Amino acid sequence: MTTETIIIIILTGLAAGILGGMVGIGGGIIIVPALVYFLAFSQHQAQGTSLALMLFPVGILGVINYYKKGYVDFRYAGLLAIGFVVGSYLGSKFSLSLPQLTVKRIFAVLMLIVAFKMLFIDKK
């Protein structure tokens, strides 16, 4: 793994953690697309690695299935987890300082951006 890749992974985990702490999202909407678009993971690799980040307790059965097919990279999952832990702390602190309506709107705008990209920008 290159230094650049490690930085991308940790920043992805940090972004997912911040958004997870702020509005309760992270893995599916941040980590999976980042692994696909920035690190050229296949969709299955991205999903398996994202689940590995949440291995205990919620993702264990999903991780086992993806791991059996060779779609989990625990090195990436570990680095994502480091960023996610720090990010979730920061995101939750920030979110709790905002009015509920503002957090709801941040969540809605983020979902619209991702949906627009998936519907109209993705080529594959």
Position 21 pLDDT exceeds 70:
yes
- DSSP state, 97? T
Residues with Cβ within 8 Å of 54's Cβ and at least 6 positions away in sequence, in order, are: 27
Buried b / exposed e along 82-111 (16+ C-beta atoms within 10 A): bbbebbbeebbeebeeeeeeebeeebeebe
**What's the pLDDT tens digit per position in 55-90?**
666 678 888 888 999 999 999 989 998 998 898 889
pLDDT tier, 28 (very low <50, low <70, confident <90, very high otherwise): confident
Q: How far is the C-alpha of 69 from the C-alpha of 39, rounded, in Å? A: 20
Average the pLDDT over 43-50 and give the result.
84
Domain containing 74 equals: 3-121
Domain count, the chain: 1
Listed in sequence order, the residues at least 6 apart from 95 whose beta carbon sits closer than 8 Å to its beta carbon are: 21, 22, 23, 103
